[in-house]
Structure 1
Amino acid sequence: MTYLTSFGNFGRDAYAWVAKEKGFFAEAGFEVDIKPGGGTGDNITKVEAGAAMFTPLDLTGVLLARGNGGAKDVVAVAGIQQNTMAAIISLEGNQITTPKDLEGKTLADSPSSVVRNLFPTYAKLAGVDATKVTWVNGQPANLIGLLASGKAAGIGQFVVGKPTVESVAKGKKAVVLPYSDVMSDLYGNVLVTSAKIAKENPDMVKRFTAALIKGLVYSIDNPKESGEILQKNVPASAAGPAAAELELMATFVRPSGATIGAIDADRVAGSIKTLQDAGAIPAGLTPDQLIDSSLTPAA
């Protein structure tokens, strides 16, 4: 089975490596090949083409894709983060402390990243003129380098990327502009598979989901060990920053009162309304078009 991480190999995706290393996948009957993902759009394409069976994708990115005619053959089967982690990260000295400061600046991100594709909606709600912001392309592995070298004033990242950014940009503090400041009800990543797999093999989907979530829980409960597991399997990923990412991610995975892995259809409907009100997607999209409630963990 091939599994794609959400975006490269950072601490936020360590839970898949943990599920493999600790034997959770094997116990559920799976041999999993974990490959680095390239962002929402690229991962959707690969899942729909059958090149991967599962991947975590930012739910808002999937909503944007489906609302605009794409992502027709993928379904969400579990929640990974109960709140969006999308953000712009800059460095002190780049004259970016508020969203309005992004005007006139150059930002870098993958063209398929949810952070980049959601930016027009974020900009509108945050009072930013998106036409005054320049985007350049960058791949997951080199985004932080572009920021540290000064080739970009900010990059698309998840808020938990702060420790990793600061470990690369030695001596400089990261400045984080979370999208959740203006879009508080959006989900973060959700586990996605193809509609075909969900329909034809629901038991397999449930077993895989349970094993992955077991790895997710273990990761946020044991961030230091999980960072070391990631570095063992992906030597380019430093254990310390990875562990720090997982510590930050814990509140997104397990906020007060939330069931790990659950997806609430009413909240998704609210997210759809936010995007529609901002003009990001047309009317007509409903939660049941994207979420298989028979497979998601019970709230």
Structure 2
Amino acid sequence: MDRPVSRRSVTLAVAALAASAAFMPSQPAQAQAVTPIKFVLDWKLQGIHAWYYLAEDRGYFAQEKLAVTIDQGDGSAATVTKIMAGAYQAGFGDVNAVIQNASAKPGAAPVMVYMVYNRAPFALIVKADSPIKTLRDFEGRTIGTPAGGAAARMFPVMAAKSGVDASKVKWTNVAPNLQEQLMLKSHVDGSAVFSVTSYMNLVAQGLDPDKDIRWFHYADHGVELYGNGVMVSPQLIKDKPQAVAGLVRAIHKGVRDAAADPDAAIAALMKREPLLNKDLEKRRLLYTLKTIMLTPEVAANGFGDVSDARFARSFIQLKEAFDLQRVPTAAEVFDRRFLPPAAERKIAMK
């Protein structure tokens, strides 16, 4: 037999429902959930990282409902292995290292979603008064390189393109922080360097890199590699494609703003690392924008994308240099679906 329900019981039930509802997230709140992303850089903080912090300070990540934690790195190739290990979901690193890992471990390597360095910043440097005036003059000479340096590994490709007998060039391993000094003191005839780093190292030593140093940029001698860009894990693409698109949009706005207002970008960087040399890092930023980011190809196609034909040729060059057992497809390495529309990817430098 049913018991009558008292007015007090109804009142208590309504109160309980109201209290429980107060702790239940509403549907709009669930839709606005923030996605955390751990992001690793390629190296210690420099001017070439300023746009990430400018994007953070201007709320571009927050606008995309992202909580991005940015950590310093210890090498552009190491970014790839850190993402593969699951320590990070995204990072800034070398697309060529992605290609090599995708060759060996299909499906496990990160995917590049936003190309930043349109030209790989590999170069050989000699003193301006050196007798080495052409690439062929390196025959019979000694070049310093860090152990396993990518510039040294890619040299035979450039040599073949330039009619240089690579077997006649000698190599010696040097500490990365001594590359410029050993060349300047004539312990080696030249050094194989990462241009955006070496350029500012020379500036810090009181030299004018444009007058005191002769440069042989690989990109000017037939090497068609791209360089560093934003990469993400395959799992992030699978689970949260909207977050990947938001990450790319936010970073692109940071790059755009850094090109338009480099002082604001460096100010954002200095907030994170006040011991940096502000003037030197601004010069590094401007040099990088001018020499390897805002190229004629970028002017034509928009920032962040690649030329499919050139990209395919770069795969073949990497296969030759690193003896890849398998050449991955472009789709395994680069996914342009997350790029903003081409009209929004035009970037003008101040």
Question: TM-score by structure 2 length?
Answer: 0.71
Aligned to 1:260: 303
Q: CA deviation at 1:203?
A: 1.0
Matched, 1:170 2:209: no
Unaligned runs of 5+ in 2: 1-36, 343-350
Aligned to 2:76: 39
- Secondary structure of the 1:6 match is coil
**Do the aligned partners of 1:56 and 1:189 also contact (CA within 8 Å) in 2?**
yes
Q: Which deviates more from structure 2 when the two are superposed, residues 153-162 or residues 197-206?
A: 153-162
Matched, 1:133 2:163: no
- CA deviation map 1:73-104 (0-9, x unaligned): 21111111223332233443565443334453
What is the root-mean-square deviation in Å for CA atoms of aligned residues?
Answer: 3.2
CA distance in 1 between counterparts of 2:268 and 2:189 reads: 32
Which of 71, 75, 86 is residue 50 of structure 1 equivalent to? 86
Matched, 1:270 2:313: yes
Aligned to 1:66: 102
Q: CA deviation at 1:45?
A: 1.0
Matched, 1:16 2:52: yes
**Do the aligned partners of 1:144 and 1:168 also contact (CA within 8 Å) in 2?**
no
Which of 137, 142, 150 is residue 105 of structure 1 equivalent to? 142
Does the C-alpha gap of structure 1 residues 11 and 123 become closer, same or farther in structure 2, counting only changes over 3 Å? farther
The share of aligned pairs that are identical, in percent, is: 21
Aligned to 1:120: 156
- CA deviation map 1:136-188 (0-9, x unaligned): 2535x665566567666544444334641332222462332211012364323
CA distance in 2 between counterparts of 1:76 and 1:97 reads: 37
Does the C-alpha gap of structure 1 residues 165 and 196 become closer, same or farther in structure 2, counting only changes over 3 Å? same
Q: CA deviation at 1:105?
A: 1.7
Aligned to 1:248: 287
Q: CA deviation at 1:50?
A: 1.5
**Do the aligned partners of 1:67 and 1:282 also contact (CA within 8 Å) in 2?**
yes
Does the C-alpha gap of structure 1 residues 277 and 34 become closer, same or farther in structure 2, counting only changes over 3 Å? closer
Does the C-alpha gap of structure 1 residues 178 and 201 become closer, same or farther in structure 2, counting only changes over 3 Å? same
Larger Rg: 2
Does the C-alpha gap of structure 1 residues 225 and 133 become closer, same or farther in structure 2, counting only changes over 3 Å? farther
Question: TM-score by structure 1 length?
Answer: 0.82
CA distance in 2 between counterparts of 1:130 and 1:229 reads: 44
- Aligned-partner residue type, residue 255 of structure 2: L
Does the C-alpha gap of structure 1 residues 224 and 50 become closer, same or farther in structure 2, counting only changes over 3 Å? same
Between the two proteins, the alignment pairs up a number of residues equal to: 296
- Aligned-partner residue type, residue 217 of structure 2: P
- Aligned-partner residue type, residue 258 of structure 1: N
- Secondary structure of the 2:283 match is helix
- CA deviation map 1:24-46 (0-9, x unaligned): 33333223223133132x22111
Aligned to 1:208: 247
- Aligned-partner residue type, residue 209 of structure 1: V
CA distance in 2 between counterparts of 1:240 and 1:270 reads: 38
- Aligned-partner residue type, residue 291 of structure 1: F
Aligned to 1:218: 257
Aligned to 2:34: none
Q: Which deviates more from structure 2 when the two are superposed, residues 95-104 or residues 45-54?
A: 95-104
